[in-house]
Amino acid sequence: MKKIGFIGLGNMGKPMALNLVKKGYSLKVFDLQPAPTEELKAAGAEVMASAIDAGNDVDVLITMLPSSPHVEALYLSDTGLLAHTAGKPIVIDCSTIAPESARKVAKAAQQFGIPMLDAPVSGGTAGAEAGTLTFIIGGDATILERTRPIFEAMGKNIFHAGNNGAGQVAKICNNMLLAIHMAGTAEALQLGVNNGLDASVLSEIMSKSSGRNWSLELYNPYPGVMENVPASRGYQGGFMCELMNKDLGLAMEAMMHSKSTSPMGALAKSLYAMHCNNGHSKEDFSSIQKLYSGKS
Amino acid sequence: MKKIGFIGLGNMGKPMALNLVKKGYSLKVFDLQPAPTEELKAAGAEVMASAIDAGNDVDVLITMLPSSPHVEALYLSDTGLLAHTAGKPIVIDCSTIAPESARKVAKAAQQFGIPMLDAPVSGGTAGAEAGTLTFIIGGDATILERTRPIFEAMGKNIFHAGNNGAGQVAKICNNMLLAIHMAGTAEALQLGVNNGLDASVLSEIMSKSSGRNWSLELYNPYPGVMENVPASRGYQGGFMCELMNKDLGLAMEAMMHSKSTSPMGALAKSLYAMHCNNGHSKEDFSSIQKLYSGKS
Amino acid sequence: MKKIGFIGLGNMGKPMALNLVKKGYSLKVFDLQPAPTEELKAAGAEVMASAIDAGNDVDVLITMLPSSPHVEALYLSDTGLLAHTAGKPIVIDCSTIAPESARKVAKAAQQFGIPMLDAPVSGGTAGAEAGTLTFIIGGDATILERTRPIFEAMGKNIFHAGNNGAGQVAKICNNMLLAIHMAGTAEALQLGVNNGLDASVLSEIMSKSSGRNWSLELYNPYPGVMENVPASRGYQGGFMCELMNKDLGLAMEAMMHSKSTSPMGALAKSLYAMHCNNGHSKEDFSSIQKLYSGKS
Amino acid sequence: MKKIGFIGLGNMGKPMALNLVKKGYSLKVFDLQPAPTEELKAAGAEVMASAIDAGNDVDVLITMLPSSPHVEALYLSDTGLLAHTAGKPIVIDCSTIAPESARKVAKAAQQFGIPMLDAPVSGGTAGAEAGTLTFIIGGDATILERTRPIFEAMGKNIFHAGNNGAGQVAKICNNMLLAIHMAGTAEALQLGVNNGLDASVLSEIMSKSSGRNWSLELYNPYPGVMENVPASRGYQGGFMCELMNKDLGLAMEAMMHSKSTSPMGALAKSLYAMHCNNGHSKEDFSSIQKLYSGKS
C-alpha cells in the first residue's frame, strides 16, 4: 500500500497529495494544469502524462474532481480508467458528487474486479493543508480498514457511513444541515440586533443555550463577533457560497430521487442561489448574513 | 432580600417557587388554582387571597404567566399591581412575552419607582424542578446583581442580555434558532434514511462535523437514536409543539415590529403550525420528525 | 343620506372625497395637513377644525386612516369620535386594518347605538381618482344597502363579505393571494427567460393556460412585456412594496390569531420584507421581479 | 402527412391516437400493454410488433412516454428509433420531460436528418378525450406549420414557445406557476374560513379582485364552492398530486441547471412532496387544500 496514483490537483487535491508525499508515500500524479504538477514534482512525486498512466501499477488510486460528470467520464468512458487501468488498484474517489453517480461508478468498478470507496471530505482547503480533513466514506468496511493509514495521512476524522454512495449521502445531509443552521443563525442574530441586542452578547447566550450550533459557536457569521473567521475579514476565504449552492443542489437531487421532502433545505437552497445571483458567489458561505442586513 | 412574592404557580411557576422555599426564602404566593397553592402551603409558603396581597411588603415580586395580555392586565390595569403594591419591591417577570409588552410594563413600573427585570427562562419543567433553569435577563445590571442569589436558587445559567425587553428578545431569538435546527435536523436525518443510511450512524457523523447542533447532539428527534429523549418515548413529555408554536409567533411579531426578515424562521413557524393543526400540539417539539416521515 | 363627514384626506382619501363632492354630496372634511383640505374647500367641501366637528350632524361618517392604532385612537379614546359624535351617523371605516381592530371598534360603536361598516378598498390611487374602487365590506347588510349609493359614488365593485371585520379579512386574504401569484409569476417568467424563452411569448402562453392569473395578465412584472404597467416605467407608481409588506403583516397576524398556517403567504412576506430592506420599499410591488434577476 | 406512427398508448396517448384515427389519419401504433392496442385496432389502427416498426414508413412519428429516461432510451440507444427508422419522418415528442433531454434528442435527430418538435400537452385525460388539449411546442416554426393539422386533430390551443426544448420549458414554468397559485388559493381560502368567512363568498370576491387566478376561478380547491371540479367529488379524477410533484421536480432541475432561484416554486415542491408522502399522491392536485385544514 505504498504506491498511490492521484488525479486532480486543485485547491483540495494538491495539498492532500502533498501530505501523502510528506508521509512517505510514492505518488504518481496527473492534472491538466501545469502549475500544481510542478509543485508536486518538486516535492518528490512522479508527474504522469495521462490519467491512465497515473492509475497504472499503483496500490491505490485517488481522484478529486469537481462534479459527477467529470467522475463518470474519467472512470466510465470507453477510454476510461476502469477499462484501461493495469493492476486493479483500490479506487478512492474523494470528489463530492451525486450518490447515484458514486453507486454507478462503484458498480462498474466491481465488474472490473476493482474495489471502490466514495470518500468525500469536509474541512476546506485549510483542513487539506493541515492534514485534518474529515472523510465520510461509503463502501466495504474491510477495504476502508486496509486503506485507513492513507486516510489518516490526509485527515483526522474517518467515518464509515455505509455501502457505496453512503459517503456522499452523509456529506450531503451534513452540508444541508449546515446551510440551514448557518442561515438560521444569521437570521436569529439579525433579529436580535434589529431589536436592540448586541450580536456578541446574543451569540454568547445562545451558544450556552438550546440554540447552540456549529455556525454560531465556531464560524459566527456576524462581523465582529469572532476573530479568525471569514465574517471578520470581509467574508474572504473559507467555503465559497457557490460551493454550498452546489452541495445544496446535490441535496435537492437526493431529495427528489428518494421522494423525500426537505422544505427547510429547499428554502436554504433558494436563499443561497439568490445570494449567489446577487454577486456573492465567491464569498464565504457565512456571508448569507448580508441577505438579512438592513431594515426597510 | 428574603421576602418574596410569587404569582403564577403553573407547570413552571410551582417548582420554581418550591425551590425558593427550599433555599430558605419566605414566600407569599398566589394562583387562581387551589391545587398548587396547597402544595406550596404544605412546603411552608404563605398563601395569599389576591395578587396584590402577594405583592405587598415583599423585597422581590416574581410573576410567571402565560402570555403578554395576562402580564399587561396584572400590572397595568387600574386595579393592577403597579398602582396598588405597597413597598416598591423589585419586580421580576419570568413569563415569555412580547418584548414590547415587557418594555411597556417596565416603563410603567419605573414611573411608580419600581425597578423591573424581564427574565424569561429555558430548560422546561425538568429544569424548573431540578433548579437548573437558564434565565435570560433584560433590565438594569445592578438590579440583576442584587437579585442574583434568587436566580441562583432556581437556575444554573444567568445571562444579562441588555436593557428591559432584551431578555425576551434573546429568548425569542434562541427559540427561533432552536426550531430551525430542530426542523433541519429532522429533515437531514430523514433524507439520509430515505437514501439508505442508518439514522444513528448519520447522527454520529454529523455530530462530529459541521452539521453539529443542540437538537442533533442532545435531543435527537429520530426515534431510537438516543435514550432518554422524547423521541425514544413516543414524543411524550418535553417541550410541547404548541409552546414552540407560540414562541415562533412571538418571533414573527418581533420580526415584523423591527422590519426584519426571517424566511427560515417564518417557514419553521408554518411547519410547526401545520404540525399542530395535524393533531400533534401536545407532543414534544422534536415530533416535527413525523412531518417528514413516509415516502410518496 | 346627503350629509357626509370625511376624515383622512391622504393619497386615497382625498380623491374619494372629491368624487363624493362631484356627485352632489355635502361634505364636512378634516385632515391635519392643510394642502388637501384646501383642495377640498375649493371643490366645495366644508373644512372643519377637528375630527369631532367633521362627525357632527352628518348622516354618514367616512374615515380613511393608515393603520389600526390610528383608527382605534380616533374612535375609542376618551376624547374620541364614538363618545363625542352628535347625531349617531352611520360610520364607514375604509382603512385597511386588523380584523380584530375592526371588530373591536364596531362593537364599541354598537354600544353607542352607532352602526358601523368596515370597508377597505382596492384599486389604488388611480381607482380612487377614477371612482372605480372595489369596496370589500363587513357589517350589517341592511346598513350596506342604505349606504350603497355612497359607495357607488366612489367605486365600481361593492362586495359584502360578512359581519363586522369580514371586509378586512377578505381584503387581507385577497392581497396575500395577490402577493403569492405576483412573486410566483416573477419566478416563472425568470425561470423561462433563464432557460432561453422570451418573456412575452411565455406570458402569452401561460395567460391562455392554467398558469393564468391577475398578475400575469393585467400587471405583468417583467419589463417590456406589457405597456402601461409599472414594470414598463421602472416600477414607479402603482402599489408600493411597503404597502404590500404591511398587508402581508396583517395576513400573518390574522394567520396567527386564527391558528392557521400559510407557508406560501409567510414566504411571500419574507421575500417582500427582504426586498424592502434592499431599498425597494417605494417601488411598485411588481418590482419583486428584481429579486430573481441575474444568474449566479 | 397522412401516415402517422404513434408510440405510447397510456392514459393520455390512447385517446390522442383515437382522435387521430377518427379524423381519418392512418395509424401504426405500438405499446407494451395489449389492452390499449386492442382498442386502437378495433378503431382501425394497425398494431405493430415493435417501436421501430411503428416508426417505419410514416410521415410523422408521435411519442407519448412517462419520463426523460424513457424518451432518451427509445430514441438514442444503439437499437433506438433514430438509428433504425426508415423514411425520416417528422418526430413529435409529446412527453413532459426535462428540457435538456428534449434538446439532446432533437440534436441527435438533426444529425440523422430527422426534424423534431417537443410538444408537451396540458388539459389532462379529459382534454385528450375531447380533443381539446393545449400543445406547447418547441422547435422549427416551419415544421410546426406543416404538422399543424395533426395538432388540431388532437387539441384546441397550439403555442409555439421557441426552439427545441422551449416547449418543455414553457410547460414547466406554467405548471410551477399553477402549483404556486393553487397552494396560495388553498391557503387564502382557509385563512378566510378560519377567520369566519364563507369560502364561496370569499371566492366570489377574490375572483373579481386582484387575487384572481385560474385555480380560484375554474378549479376551486375548497369543497362545495364549485360544481364539477375534483374538490366537489372527494378530489377524485383530475390531475394527480404525484404528477404535479413530478412536474415540480422538472422545474427544480431547470432552476438548478440555469442557476435560477425560485423560492415560491421550491416551497410548492416541498408542500406537494409532503402531501404525497402523507398518502395523497393519487388524489387531484387541488387536494393540497387538506394540508391547511384543521386548526391547532
Model confidence over C36-64: pLDDT tens digits? 999 999 999 999 999 999 999 999 999 99
Q: Kindly report the length of chain A.
A: 296
What is the SS3 assignment for D143-207?
HHHHHHHHHHHHEEEEEEEECCCHHHHHHHHHHHHHHHHHHHHHHHHHHHHHCCCCHHHHHHHHH
C-alpha neighbours within 13 Å on the C-beta side of residue B206:
38
pLDDT reported for residue D294: 59
pLDDT tens, position by position, C7-42: 999 999 999 999 999 999 999 999 999 999 999 999
Q: Of A294 and B164, which is predicted with more confidence?
A: B164
Task: From chain C, pick out residues whose CB is under 8 angstroms from the CB of A242.
Answer: 296
Q: What is the pLDDT of residues A3-37, one digit of tens each?
A: 999 999 999 999 999 999 999 999 999 999 999 99
State the Cα–Cα distance between residues C78 and C271, nearest whole angstrom: 40
Contact call for residues A228 and A275 (beta carbons, < 8 A):
no
Chain B CB contacts of C267 under 8 Å are 263, 266-267, 270
Q: Helix (H, G, I), strand (E, B), or coil: what is residue A219?
A: coil
Q: Which residues of chain D have pLDDT under 70?
A: 294-296
State the pLDDT confidence band at C295, using cuts at 50, 70 and 90. very low
3-state DSSP assignment of residue A259: coil
At A79 the pLDDT is 85
| Gap between the Cα atoms of D30 and D15, Å rounded | 14
The one-letter code for the residue type at C73 is A
Which of C276, C292, C295 has the CB atom closest to A296's CB atom?
C276
Which chains touch D (3+ CB pairs under 8 A)? A, B, C
Task: Measure the CA angle with vertex D261, ends C272 and B294; round to 5°.
Answer: 100
Q: CA B108, CA B115: separation in Å to the nearest integer?
A: 10
pLDDT tens-digit profile of A35-49? 999 999 999 999 999
Tell me how close the Cα of B10 comes to any Cα of chain A, in angstroms.
23
Nearest CB neighbour to C266, from listed B253, B260, B270: B270
Instruction: Report whether D163 contacts D99 (CB < 8 A).
Output: no
Residues B204, A160 contacting (CB under 8 angstroms): no
* Burial call D43-59: b when 16+ CB within 10 Å, e when fewer: bebebbeebbbbbbebb
Interface contact flag, B177 A181, Cβ < 8 Å: yes
Q: Which pLDDT band holds residue A296 (cuts at 50, 70, 90)? A: very low
DSSP string for residues in B73-84: HHHHSTTSHHHH
> What was the pLDDT predicted at B294?
59
How many residues are present in chain C? 296
Cell reading at D51 = 417501436
- Select from D271, D277, D285 the residue whose CB has the most chain B CBs within 10 Å, as the one to mutate to test that interface: D277
- Residues B232-274: pLDDT tens digits? 999 998 899 999 999 999 999 999 999 999 999 999 999 999 9
Question: What amino acid occupies position B160?
Answer: H
What is the pLDDT at residue D296? Answer: 35
Nearest CA in chain C to A277: C296
Q: What is the mean pLDDT of residues A253-276?
A: 96
Residue C296 predicted with pLDDT over 60: no
Taking CA–CA distances from B294, the nearest residue in chain D reads D277
**Nearest Cα residue to D16 out of D166, D126, D145:** D126
Chain centroid to CA A188: 27
B202 HSE (CA, 13 A, CB side): 32
Residue A237 clears pLDDT 90, i.e. is over it: no
Closest CA to B248 of B225, B224, B222, B272: B272
Q: Are D176 and C185 in contact (CB under 8 A)?
A: no
Q: Is the dihedral of CA B152, B155, B161, B166 positive or negative?
A: negative
Average pLDDT over residues A181-207: 97
Question: What Å distances lie between residue A202 and B36, B118, B218, D14, CA to CA?
Answer: 35, 16, 21, 64
- Are A263 and D271 an interchain contact pair (Cβ–Cβ within 8 Å)? yes
Q: Say if residue C248's pLDDT is above 80.
A: yes
Neighbours of B257 (CB within 10 A): 14
In the C/D pair of chains, how many CB contacts fall below 8 A? Answer: 253
How much of chain A is helix, strand and coil, in % rounded to 5? 55, 15, 30
pLDDT along chain B (296 residues), means of 10: 94 97 97 95 96 95 95 92 90 97 97 96 91 97 97 97 98 98 98 97 96 97 96 94 96 95 97 94 96 68
The per-residue pLDDT of chain B, averaged, comes to 95
Q: Cβ(B166)–Cβ(B141) under 8 Å?
A: no
Q: What is the mean pLDDT of residues A261-265?
A: 97
Measure the CA angle with vertex C70, ends C67 and C75; round to 5°.
125
Q: With a cut of 50, say whether residue A295 has pLDDT above it.
A: no
Q: What is the pLDDT of residue A293?
A: 81
The alpha carbon of residue C38 and the mean position of all alpha carbons in its chain are separated, in whole angstroms, by: 24
- Catalytic annotation, pick one of C171, C246, C259, C269: C171
Backbone torsions φ then ψ of B26, nearest 5 degrees? -95, 115
pTM of the model: 0.94
C22 with C41: CB under 8 angstroms?
Answer: no
Q: What is the pLDDT of residue C194?
A: 96
Percent of the residues in chain B that have a pLDDT greater than 90, as a whole number: 92
Q: Which residues of A does the annotation mark as catalytic?
A: 171
